[in-house]
A and B are shown apart, each in its own frame.
Chain A
Amino acid sequence: MFRIAKNLVRTFEQSVQDTLALSQDSSNLDAFFQSIPPNLLSAQLESPVDAVSEGVKHTNVNETLSGLRIVWVDEMQFQLQSFFDYIVGFNDDPVPVVSNQHGFSYPDYRRITSIFNEHCGRTLKVNIWSAKGGTFRDEYISIISKESDDLDDVSLNHDERRPSSGEAHQFQALGFKVQWTPLIASTFTYHILNVNIPDGPAQSAGLIPDEDYIIGCQDGLLATGGETLLQDIVRSRANYDLVLYVYNKVSDCVRPITVHIGPDGRLGCNVGYGFLHRIPTVKHCPQQAQQQGQDDNPVPVPVPVESETAFVPSAFTAPPVPTKKKSKNKKGTQPLAMDDYFNEGRDKSSTAAKSAESDILAPPPQKQSSSD
């Protein structure tokens, strides 16, 4: 019975994905990526075709579509955000890439350095895709020429993993670091739906239901994604502390939290994973524009996003609404019946069976979630 329910949820989620893709008149590209101008993706979208024509089997384009992900920003760099932002173009041209024999694209750092060198003393238009709702924007970054008497830092330890870009930087440090990463990696997030263990690890650490999303954990253990990955990591950290990085959609900020996992290996909250639980678009209040005009150092004040539209990126609000309404209508009847079903099963089981069942950490199907 439970397996059937879980399969139903997966079918439902897949149908949402398919509907969204079809509604955008693009058969393959994930709706989350369709805010990116097609010309910025052309170089990457062409290479898999070439690879296929050579008889090499290629994976889904949504899994390989990549950008220069911001992995670190300086304290004084306010234009970019780590984790969420990807550079997908310069001056409305794609990131220069080269393809290997398997059809996979990699950034041409030599040409990228040339672009920055050419813009010394000017601003460079950088095309950014953000994982917050899958939105696209432009940032104008000032490229400051390096003074002639500036000396480059040369590491005494030769590190094979960090080769030079092949061309001397004629500009000062930009205040951010990047790594070529698939865009899909930023969708591996776990939405806190509710706290189910009073005074449990989640509640003690201050996780906020509906508002919070776990986007990563110490050492990047969540980087590969997967519906059960968080659950597996938490279970493996029983009796230990675990550092999680949490995004709050109301305050539009990321904070680190430390949770102490008990001997049962549970986080104490239900989490949602998948298309419906990606980071939503940030919505600012109308007063922000006025505030920016009056204040030299404005702090935008995000407005709480209603849960009805929270998971729907702004670029495609229309298609999912009917689907969402259906699930809302079901909420009053079907889930209660399912809860009764599960509770009935628990009451009849033996004590040993109960403890074994509690380790399963099964997701309640009506919310497309998993329990940790």
Chain B
Amino acid sequence: EVDRVMLNKWRQWNVDMTTWRSIGSGPIME
């Protein structure tokens, strides 16, 4: 049984990738 209520609580959440190892180039700009 999939817990849809739990999943929906994450709807507005965004993963913070600023500390991730990245294949991007250059600095992180804001």
Which A residues have a C-beta under 8 Å from some C-beta of B? 66, 68-69, 71-73, 75, 78, 81-83, 106-107, 109, 161-163, 165, 173-174, 176-182, 185, 206, 208, 211, 215-216, 219-221, 223-224, 245, 248, 250-256, 299
Residues from 2 to 17 in B contacting A, C-beta threshold 8 Å: 2-4, 7-8, 10-17
Most interface-central of B3, B11, B14 (chain A CB within 10 A)? B14
Query: Do the beta carbons of B10 and A176 come within 8 Å of each other?
Result: no
Q: List 29 A-B contacts (CB under 8 A).
A: A66-B25, A71-B16, A71-B17, A71-B20, A72-B14, A72-B28, A73-B14, A82-B15, A82-B16, A109-B29, A178-B29, A179-B26, A181-B25, A185-B22, A185-B24, A216-B20, A219-B21, A220-B22, A223-B20, A223-B21, A223-B22, A250-B7, A251-B8, A251-B10, A253-B10, A253-B13, A254-B10, A254-B15, A299-B11
Number of residue pairs across A and B with beta carbons under 8 Å?
114
**Which residues of chain A are near B24, meaning CB under 8 Å?**
69, 71, 179-182, 185
- Write the nearest CB–CB distance from B8 to chain A, whole angstroms: 6
- Write the nearest CB–CB distance from A322 to chain B, whole angstroms: 32
Query: Do the beta carbons of A162 and B2 come within 8 Å of each other?
Result: no
Complex alpha-carbon distance, A251 and B3, angstroms:
10
Residue of A nearest to B4 (CB): A251
**Which residues of chain B are near A251, meaning CB under 8 Å?**
4, 7-8, 10-11
**Which residues of chain B are near A206, meaning CB under 8 Å?**
3
- Write the nearest CB–CB distance from A256 to chain B, whole angstroms: 7
**Which residues of chain B are near A68, meaning CB under 8 Å?**
29
**Which residues of chain A are near B18, meaning CB under 8 Å?**
71-72, 177
Which B residues have a C-beta under 8 Å from some C-beta of A? 2-4, 7-8, 10-30
Query: Do the beta carbons of B10 and A180 come within 8 Å of each other?
Result: no
Given A109-B29, A250-B2, 13 additional A-B pairs, CB 8 A: A71-B18, A71-B20, A71-B24, A72-B14, A162-B27, A179-B25, A179-B29, A180-B26, A219-B19, A224-B21, A224-B23, A250-B4, A255-B10
**Which residues of chain A are near B27, meaning CB under 8 Å?**
161-163, 179
**Which residues of chain B are near A71, meaning CB under 8 Å?**
16-18, 20, 22, 24, 28
Query: Do the beta carbons of A208 and B2 come within 8 Å of each other?
Result: yes
Residue of B nearest to A73 (CB): B14
Complex alpha-carbon distance, A126 and B8, angstroms:
28
Known: A178-B29, A179-B27. A211 touches B21 (CB 8 A): no
- Write the nearest CB–CB distance from A167 to chain B, whole angstroms: 12
Complex alpha-carbon distance, A348 and B14, angstroms:
49
Residue of B nearest to A302 (CB): B11
Complex alpha-carbon distance, A66 and B24, angstroms:
9
**Which residues of chain A are near B29, meaning CB under 8 Å?**
68, 109, 165, 177-179
